[in-house]
């Protein structure tokens, strides 16, 4: 346990969600200016395979409304906006991460790093939320997935990863995602239900999802501009979704590079997956804390369901 706690402090200094979801309404920070650190790792689920780790540094500020990328986004009328940037890193490994050999019928090694520009438009009248983001970066050895996992495993005196030489090779990462939420039920600021849907297009992930999220506790109203951040909030959330998968570069390799040592063929990709995210969120004054868990059905024919967990910690600037 001490080793795990040590990781949480060392990773940001040693190293610097698209897997990390930070735009859902139940994760609303209650401000247009904030910083938040997001961290995922499968050790929270007593595992070390599939989606093995992800982290991001998220920053929102009113001045980022002038970001040129925002001109590419849809701008609904009668909405107020939150604009930001995020640096994100994700990594994947097969079940046997020690062997230097290619793990046939298992997930290939893969790592990606990218910068995301995002904008959230909240309509307080219709109780809806439109989120958009554009990501640019790379997948492959340039994302230092090997160096990252090897350094962490040495630090905690764990087994040394041996198969990163077989990882997905360097390729361009360019992705666009749009998500929409609509509140369909609310009860006395202690329970909300939102219908959710999203679409991703690009060289990293191409997919669509539909589902809902619900919160129970001292929730407040994430669709209100008068949702005062100073008030104490503590609530549980759950978000089940069904996903239609078109393309996944972490399994299939990038679209421009063809010299990958090993990939999962298109015919073996599971085109329909289900995922559930759940956890607890605490907000008080300028502080934001979250603990989350995720389960997903298998993503390729010979694969297995996967689980991971994580935490988010943030603070407001005003």
pLDDT at res. 2: 37
pLDDT at res. 15: 33
Report the 10 Å Cβ neighbour count for 13: 7
Task: Identify which of 177, 145, 176, 185 has the alpha carbon closest to the alpha carbon of residue 161.
Answer: 145
Long-range contacts of 37-40 (CB under 8 A, 24+ apart): 37/12, 37/312, 37/313, 37/314, 38/310, 38/312, 39/8, 39/11, 39/310, 39/311, 39/312, 40/90, 40/294, 40/308, 40/309, 40/310
Report the 10 Å Cβ neighbour count for 130: 21
Is the pTM higher than 0.85? Answer: yes
pLDDT at res. 33: 95
- Which 8-state DSSP code applies to residue 300? B
| Per-residue pLDDT tens digits for 51-93 | 988 999 999 999 999 999 999 999 999 999 999 999 999 999 9
2.40.128.140, 3.30.70.20, 3.40.50.300, 3.40.640.10: CATH of 2-316: 2.40.128.140
| Per-residue pLDDT tens digits for 3-62 | 433 333 333 333 333 578 999 999 999 899 999 999 998 888 877 778 988 999 999 999
Give the torsion sign (CA, 183, 184, 186, 190).
negative
Task: Identify which of 90, 174, 110 has the alpha carbon closest to the alpha carbon of residue 136.
Answer: 174
What whole-number distance in Å separates Cα of residue 313 and Cα of residue 254? 32
pLDDT at res. 157: 75
Residues of the chain with pLDDT under 50: 1-17
Question: Per the structure block, which two tokens stand in for 31?
Answer: 């401000």
Residue 312's φ and ψ, nearest 5 degrees, are -135, 140
80-93 and 50-60: which strand pairing? antiparallel
């Amino acid at each position: 346990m001490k080793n795990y706690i040590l990781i949480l402090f060392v990773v940001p200094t040693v190293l610097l969600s698209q897997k990390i979801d930070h735009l859902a309404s139940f994760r609303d920070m209650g401000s247009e200016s904030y910083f938040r650190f997001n961290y995922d790792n499968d050790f929270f689920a007593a595992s070390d395979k599939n989606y093995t780790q992800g982290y991001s540094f998220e920053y929102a500020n009113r001045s980022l409304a002038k970001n040129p990328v925002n001109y590419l986004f849809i701008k609904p009328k009668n909405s107020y906006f939150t604009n930001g940037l995020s640096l994100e890193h994700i990594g994947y490994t097969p079940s046997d991460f020690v062997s230097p050999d290619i793990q046939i019928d298992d997930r290939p090694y893969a790592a990606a790093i990218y910068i995301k520009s995002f904008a959230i438009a909240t309509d307080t009248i219709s109780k809806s939320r439109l989120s958009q983001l554009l990501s640019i970066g790379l997948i492959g050895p340039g994302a230092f997935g090997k160096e990252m996992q090897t350094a962490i495993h040495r630090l905690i005196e764990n087994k040394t990863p041996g198969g990163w030489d077989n990882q997905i090779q360097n390729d361009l990462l360019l992705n666009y995602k749009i998500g929409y939420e609509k509140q369909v039920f609310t009860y006395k600021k202690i329970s909300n239900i939102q219908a959710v849907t999203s679409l991703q297009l690009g060289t990293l992930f191409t997919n669509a999802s539909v589902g809902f999220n619900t919160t129970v506790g001292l929730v407040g109203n994430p669709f209100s501009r008068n949702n005062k951040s100073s008030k104490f909030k503590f609530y549980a959330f759950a978000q089940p979704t069904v996903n239609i998968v078109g393309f996944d570069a972490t399994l299939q390799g990038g679209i421009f590079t063809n010299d990958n040592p090993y990939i999962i063929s298109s015919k073996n990709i599971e085109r329909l997956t289900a995922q559930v995210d759940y956890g607890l969120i605490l907000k008080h004054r300028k502080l934001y804390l979250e603990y989350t868990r995720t389960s997903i059905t298998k993503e390729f024919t010979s694969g297995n369901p996967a689980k991971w967990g994580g935490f988010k910690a943030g603070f407001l600037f005003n």
